Amino acid sequence: MNKILLVLIVMFGLWQCNSNTKTDSKSKAKQLLSQMTLEEKAGQMTQLTIEMISQFKDETIVEPHALDTAKLRNVIVNLGVGSILNVGGHTYTLSHWTEIQNAIHAYEKESRLQVPVLYGIDAIHGANYTVGSTLYPQQLALAASFNTDMAYQMANMVASDVRASGIPWNFSPVLDVGRNPKWPRFWETFGEDPYLVSQMGVAMVNGYQAPVGDNRAGVAACLKHYVGYSNPVNGHDRTPAYIPEKQLREIYLLPFAKAIQAGAKTIMINSSEVNGEPVHASTFLLKTILRDELHFEGITVTDWEDIKNLCDRHKVAATYKEAVALAINAGIDLAMVPLDLDFTKYLIENVKEGKIKEQRIDEAVLRILALKEELGLFEPSANKMGSYVAPGSEESKRLSYELATQSIVLLQNKQQALPLAETEKILVTGPNANYINALNGGWTHTWQGRDTNYNSKVATVYQALKMRSVEGMVKYLGGNTYTEHLAKQDLLSAANGINTVVLCLGEDTYTEKPGDIDDLDLSSAQQELIKIYKEAGKKVIVVLLEGRPRTFATTASLCDAIVFAGLPGDNGGMALADLLKGSINFSAKLPFTFPRLPGIHKTYDCKYTETLNNDFKPLGFTPLFEFGSGISYTQFTYLGIELMSKEAKTTDSVEVKVKLENSGDREGTEIVLLYSSDMYASITPSIKRLRAFKRVVLKPKEIQEVHFKLAVSELAFVGLNNQFIVEPGKFIFSTTSVQDTLNITP
Ligand code: BGC
């Protein structure tokens, strides 16, 4: 029987979201704007890096860091620069942050209109540029917890820590959808599923922007990087992506739409190009979609140097000055210049020459001033940094540990290789065994997170295992690197009398361009370690500390246990030790699909045709580990799934009950993932799509019923006309091993 096609264009709430900048918060902003000269307005639209106000000697930033008061005066008083960002090289103490902010505020007072500077920073997994602050799991690890409540709590604590250093704006969260594991910022995402990314993203935005401390304003969140950054064709950072509008809307725009609806105040633009158009020059993406459809009213900020890049790298403007007109006319409000004073000059010239209308400038400046007002920057109390809880509180450490325990995924555990017994002697080795940076990744104390001078005083995996074991039971072997391992005889003699080897493998830290790779395979030296110890008859436990799934098809099957630890943060070492020793249980699930081979990657929501074998017979979906994989020290048996009504209209909601039992013998947390599969549709449907999830704790032998309610409109997809639609027909709802059918009628 032919299916009746589309009947309803779903007025997705997300496309109709409310304004996110309250009109009444603009009174001061409007009044200020009316007094501003063109030069002052251009200053407001300029963001410079801290280097531009810092002391340099022989072209190197002075250490210890010190401000250059002459530059500061020029930037704040003469040029009226509206925003400053970043840190000069590495993390600062809280007192140095206080000095910096106080100095900036002092110069603000000397400027004609005394407009406060909006300082922004990348505090993406804790106040990672403040000495002593607690560092949490990076986003990809966080997503493995599927715990939106704790993501909210973490973000709120980070907001307080960032505010304590006088900074009201955080360039986080990343809402790019991680669908290309080669991309060096994969670990900065919440993984491959747009629904999960949206849920975690909204939680983080709410946590950042909720009040902190004694009911003071949190920080403004900044959604990154709008839009289409995360799936470049060749996997390299800041290289072209080709994304059909349909996919752009259904996958990549969705998390931004949800976060805007939640009230996100700012958005950072993708440095790269989508379908041949640099996003910084795209009126379609910056205006038609962002403003007219998503009704975003906050500020758009460029990424690093990206207006200049329109001519220097993208070659869509002949000169820097033309690039300024292109970007501002397309809809940029604030330029992260951040290393020259030419942007401001060119902006003024463009307006005087009629290439940019002053109305466009007023629109941008009003948004910037309104944000400053909303963040309370005009109030004298904004500068009282001392009244926040100092970063690094015991409470934040507990939260970071708890989150780490929930974000480390157990993927393989042959013959109960784990947990490690109290009486089991172990050898810990591999390049990440005794290396704190490997727990934290990039954006940790420094941009690349590689400098060991600034490490927090926390335990590495080896140190944590030692602390949690009886004296003499844990041995460490150093010297194995990412690209070279010790001689075979040294590797084996270190394991003399020891049956269990914990191999901490993976990657060194990176972000952006320096993290580009051409081959997803885990280095051969590291895979050799697995082979050598396995051939010697050892029990091999592999712990992967890495920002993306590095493939190891032939050696994965040799491992007795595989743990994907991702980048679990400062307390990841202790969390790992407790999980490996079994004093706590694993609960996390993979927020991405771990490919089997480097040359082929499919996401869990691939199409039916992608699952066919050479002989055209269905092969199924065969990655190494699928999205949602994750086991624990207990077992869960799914007893059934039931839809409360078998038929629903496109405007209805449906209720689903899932029954499961903890059939093992220890308490555990199960993340129930509810999927839907559209049996046929006008656009080829995915095998399945995640629609909801819930974490449930079950005692041994306990049975629980988990309830979900979702609107049928959430089953919408983007149709041929590029709008969200729900088509009537048969949908299967499923979770691990059970399914039920829903018939949707017009
Ligand atoms: C990154 C952004 C970051 C900005 C400011 C850029 O290079 O792409 O994610 O927020 O720098 O540090």
Q: What is the 304 CA–ligand 1 centroid distance (Å)?
A: 6
Residues 76 and 122 reside in one and the same domain = yes
Residues 377 and 411 reside in one and the same domain = no
Q: Is 224 in the pocket of ligand 1 (CB under 6 A)?
A: yes
Q: Which atom of ligand 1 is nearest to the CA of 447?
A: 12
Q: Residue whose CA is closest, atom 2 of ligand 1?
A: 303
CA 459 to the chain's CA centroid: 24
Mutate to test the pocket of ligand 1, among 304, 309, 336, 513 (most ligand atoms within 8 A of CB): 304
Q: Is 176 in the pocket of ligand 1 (CB under 6 A)?
A: no
Q: Is 188 in the pocket of ligand 1 (CB under 6 A)?
A: no
Residues 569 and 671 reside in one and the same domain = no
Residues 383 and 410 reside in one and the same domain = no
Q: Please check whether residue 521 lies inside any domain of the structure.
A: yes
**Model pLDDT for residues 479-523, shown as the tens digit of each residue:** 999 999 999 999 999 999 999 999 999 999 999 999 999 999 999
Q: Please check whether residue 17 lies inside any domain of the structure.
A: no
181, 517 contact by CB (below 8 A): no
Asked, as a colleague might, if the bond just before 540 is cis with ω within 30 of 0, I would say no
Does this model's pTM top 0.85?
yes
Q: Please check whether residue 62 lies inside any domain of the structure.
A: yes
**Mean pLDDT in residue range 572-576:** 98
Q: What CATH number is attached to the domain comprising 533?
A: 3.40.50.1700
Residues 466 and 382 reside in one and the same domain = no
Q: What CATH number is attached to the domain comprising 700?
A: 2.60.40.10
Q: Is 512 in the pocket of ligand 1 (CB under 6 A)?
A: yes
Q: Please check whether residue 416 lies inside any domain of the structure.
A: yes
Q: Is the pLDDT of residue 558 over 90?
A: yes
The tokens for 691 are 């629609």
Q: What is the 143 CA–ligand 1 centroid distance (Å)?
A: 21
| Known catalytic residue at 24 | no
**Model pLDDT for residues 413-426, shown as the tens digit of each residue:** 999 999 999 999 99
**Model pLDDT for residues 306-365, shown as the tens digit of each residue:** 999 999 999 999 999 999 999 999 999 999 999 999 999 999 999 999 999 999 999 999
Q: What CATH number is attached to the domain comprising 87?
A: 3.20.20.300
Q: Residue whose CA is closest, atom 11 of ligand 1?
A: 304
Q: Please check whether residue 565 lies inside any domain of the structure.
A: yes
User: Please, which pLDDT band fits residue 23 given cuts at 50, 70 and 90?
Assistant: very low
Helix (H, G, I), strand (E, B) or coil at 335: strand
End-of-domain residue from the set 352, 387, 422: 387
Q: Please check whether residue 6 lies inside any domain of the structure.
A: no
Please state, in angstroms and rounded to a whole number, the distance separating the CA atoms of residues 296 and 265: 8
Q: Residue whose CA is closest, atom 10 of ligand 1?
A: 171
User: Please, which pLDDT band fits residue 670 given cuts at 50, 70 and 90?
Assistant: very high
Q: Is 171 in the pocket of ligand 1 (CB under 6 A)?
A: yes
Mutate to test the pocket of ligand 1, among 229, 268, 272, 516 (most ligand atoms within 8 A of CB): 268
**Model pLDDT for residues 217-271, shown as the tens digit of each residue:** 899 999 999 999 999 999 999 999 999 999 999 999 999 999 999 999 999 999 9
For residue 22, the model assigns a pLDDT of 43
Q: What is the 442 CA–ligand 1 centroid distance (Å)?
A: 12
For residue 385, the model assigns a pLDDT of 64
Please state, in angstroms and rounded to a whole number, the distance separating the CA atoms of residues 35 and 25: 18
Q: Is 539 in the pocket of ligand 1 (CB under 6 A)?
A: no
Residues 374 and 412 reside in one and the same domain = no
**DSSP state string for 18-55:** PPSS-GGGGHHHHHHHHH--HHHHHHHTEEEEGGGGB-
Q: Please check whether residue 730 lies inside any domain of the structure.
A: yes
Residues 51 and 78 reside in one and the same domain = yes
Residues 154 and 291 reside in one and the same domain = yes
CA distances for 336 relative to 303, 324, 333, 376, angstroms: 6, 12, 10, 22
Q: Which atom of ligand 1 is nearest to the CA of 86?
A: 12
For residue 2, the model assigns a pLDDT of 41
End-of-domain residue from the set 611, 627, 662: 611
Residues 375 and 511 reside in one and the same domain = no
Task: Specify the number of domains making up the chain.
Answer: 3
| Share of the chain residues as helix, strand and coil, in percent rounded to the nearest 5 | 35, 20, 45
Q: Please check whether residue 84 lies inside any domain of the structure.
A: yes
Task: Find where tokens 């210049």 sit.
Answer: 337
**Whole-number percent of the chain with pLDDT over 90:** 92
Residues 451 and 370 reside in one and the same domain = no
Q: Is 122 in the pocket of ligand 1 (CB under 6 A)?
A: yes
Q: What is the 153 CA–ligand 1 centroid distance (Å)?
A: 24
Q: Which atom of ligand 1 is nearest to the CA of 224?
A: 9
**Model pLDDT for residues 518-544, shown as the tens digit of each residue:** 999 999 999 999 999 999 999 999 999
Q: Residue whose CA is closest, atom 6 of ligand 1?
A: 304
**Mean pLDDT in residue range 436-459:** 95
Average pLDDT, the chain: 95
Residues 379 and 407 reside in one and the same domain = no
What's the DSSP call for residue 527?
H
Q: Is the pLDDT of residue 99 over 90?
A: yes
Residues 601 and 652 reside in one and the same domain = no
For residue 388, the model assigns a pLDDT of 80
**Structural domain that includes position 430:** 397-611
Q: What is the 291 CA–ligand 1 centroid distance (Å)?
A: 23
Residue among 303, 333, 570, 740 flagged as catalytic: 303
Q: What is the 246 CA–ligand 1 centroid distance (Å)?
A: 27
Q: Strand 266-269 to strand 220-226: parallel, antiparallel, or no bridges (unpaired)?
A: parallel
End-of-domain residue from the set 367, 387, 407: 387
